[in-house]
Amino acid sequence: MLRFVRGASSRVVARVIGSRFAKPIARVALAMAGLLLLAFIGKTAVAGAIGAGTVPAAVSAAALVPAPASVPAPIPEPQPPQAPPQATPPVTTAAPTSSTRATPEDPVILNTATVDDLRRLPGIGEKRATAAIALRTRLGGRFHAVEDLLKVKGVGRATLRRLRPLVRLDPPLMPEGGAEAPR
Coil, strand, or helix at residue 168? Answer: strand
Whether the predicted model's global pTM rises above the 0.85 cut: no
- Helices 22-51 and 2-18, interaxial angle, to 10°? 110
Q: What are phi and psi of 131, to 5 degrees?
A: -65, -35
* pLDDT at 6 exceeding the cut of 90: no
Residue ranges covered by each domain of the chain: 2-55, 108-168
**CB contact at 8 A, 59 and 46:** no
What rounded mean pLDDT belongs to the chain?
Answer: 77
Q: What average pLDDT score do residues 140-148 get?
A: 92
Q: Is the pLDDT confidence value at 151 over 90?
A: yes
> Which CATH number does 108-168 carry?
1.10.150.320
- 59 vs 61: CA distance, rounded Å: 6
pLDDT value of residue 159: 92
Confidence of residue 85 (pLDDT cuts 50, 70, 90): low
Average pLDDT of the residues in 98-120: 89
Helix (H, G, I), strand (E, B) or coil at 52: coil
Read off the pLDDT band of 95 (50, 70, 90).
very low
| Lowest pLDDT segment from 16-25, 54-63, 107-116 | 54-63
Give the model's confidence band at 181: pLDDT under 50 very low, under 70 low, under 90 confident, else very high.
Answer: low
Strand 167-168 versus strand 108-109 pairing type = parallel
Query: Residue 41, Cα to own-chain centre: how many angstroms?
Result: 25
- Comparing C-alpha atoms, which of 136, 173, 133, 131 is closest to residue 155? 131
